[in-house]
């Protein structure tokens, strides 16, 4: 645990955080706090470091060759602050508590129900009844239960793209995370499926802290409580709701850095 007072820093806090791969620095001196039970959206041009920042939060960058990180990166889990990069916080526990949904739906090539049940095997001590309850509750949270309850033993690959993405989200929720990371979660979906995911994210912030990388400025305005603008690995703007809803200000920022 962290021996410093971070009570005013929301759910996740970075200070002078730098990261990259090999000799290439991607993130430079990042300082930001992510508020609890809000949607923070990270935007910026291609190559600005959005995905690297997102993946640093649950240490997915660690699996890449020659990754390095320096500076402070803290998270509040189970009401205690932890150093994400420290040895006391295991990556397995961290990734349970900080779930991730990727740009393209990636359901496991198995049945719909096993997509939820298999991750639950990492949670020790769960009874069959508890696993069944978690299966149903996670599918209900993403409004997928009524659509799949009669075909749980069918392949997840028969689902539409939007349904597959909601299944992937349910898979993360089944582990009862506190934070959900989403890397352009609607970029491969049509308008109707994208809109459904957006509405779902707005619902989920009542219980979870969400951090979203988005390629869409319109989507960013619809879902965000806070916006972080990245440019060349540095945060050049943090926008609150008043800035987000100000057409001239918001699109002025967009025109300058996109």
Q: What's the Rg (C-alpha) of the chain?
A: 18
Q: Name the residue ranges covered by the structural domains of the chain.
A: 35-51+94-257
User: Residues near 3 by Cβ (< 8 Å), separated by ≥ 6?
Assistant: none
| CATH class, range 35-51+94-257 | alpha beta
pLDDT for 258 equals 65
- Would you say 98 and 181 are in contact if contact means Cβ atoms under 8 Å apart? yes
d(CA 247, CA 103): 27
Q: 143-154 burial by CB neighbour count: b if 16+ within 10 A, else e?
A: ebbebbeeebee
pLDDT for 7 equals 83
pLDDT tens, position by position, 196-235: 999 999 999 999 999 999 989 999 999 999 999 999 999 9
**Which residues lie across from 231 on neighbouring strands?**
234
- Would you say 30 and 18 are in contact if contact means Cβ atoms under 8 Å apart? yes
* Residue of 164 and 257 predicted with greater confidence: 164
Tokens of 173: 């929720």
pLDDT for 37 equals 98
Helix (H, G, I), strand (E, B) or coil at 209: strand
pLDDT of 122 > 80? The answer is no
pLDDT tens, position by position, 46-77: 999 999 999 999 999 999 999 999 999 999 99
The pLDDT of 138-162, averaged and rounded, is 98
Q: 198-215 burial by CB neighbour count: b if 16+ within 10 A, else e?
A: bebbeebbeebbbbbbbe
Name the residue with tokens 């989403």.
182
The pLDDT of 125-143, averaged and rounded, is 93
pLDDT of 124 > 80? The answer is no
Mean pLDDT of the chain: 94
The pLDDT of 122-143, averaged and rounded, is 90
d(CA 171, CA 113): 10
């Amino acid at each position: 645990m962290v021996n410093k007072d971070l009570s005013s820093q929301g759910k996740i806090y970075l200070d002078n955080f730098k990261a990259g791969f090999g000799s290439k620095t991607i993130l430079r001196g990042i300082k930001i706090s992510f508020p609890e039970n809000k949607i923070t959206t990270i935007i910026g041009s291609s190559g600005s470091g959005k995905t690297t920042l997102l993946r640093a939060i649950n240490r997915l960058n660690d699996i890449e060759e020659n990754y390095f990180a320096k500076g402070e990166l803290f998270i509040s889990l189970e009401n205690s602050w932890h150093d994400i990069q420290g040895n006391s916080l295991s990556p397995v526990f961290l990734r349970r508590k900080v779930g991730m949904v990727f740009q393209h739906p990636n359901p496991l090539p198995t049945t719909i129900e096993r997509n939820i049940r298999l991750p639950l095997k990492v949670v020790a001590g769960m009874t069959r009844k508890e696993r069944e309850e978690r299966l149903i509750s996670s599918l209900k949270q993403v409004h997928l239960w009524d659509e799949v309850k009669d075909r749980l033993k069918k392949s997840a690959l028969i689902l539409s793209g939007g349904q597959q993405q909601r299944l992937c989200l349910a898979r993360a929720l089944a582990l009862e995370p506190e934070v959900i990371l989403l890397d352009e979660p609607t970029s491969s979906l049509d308008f109707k499926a994208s809109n459904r995911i957006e509405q779902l994210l707005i619902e989920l912030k009542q219980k979870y802290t969400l951090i979203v990388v988005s390629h869409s400025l319109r989507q960013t305005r619809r879902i965000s409580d806070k916006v972080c603008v990245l440019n060349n690995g540095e945060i050049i703007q943090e926008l609150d709701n008043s800035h987000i809803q100000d057409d001239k200000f918001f699109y002025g920022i967009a025109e300058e850095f996109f």
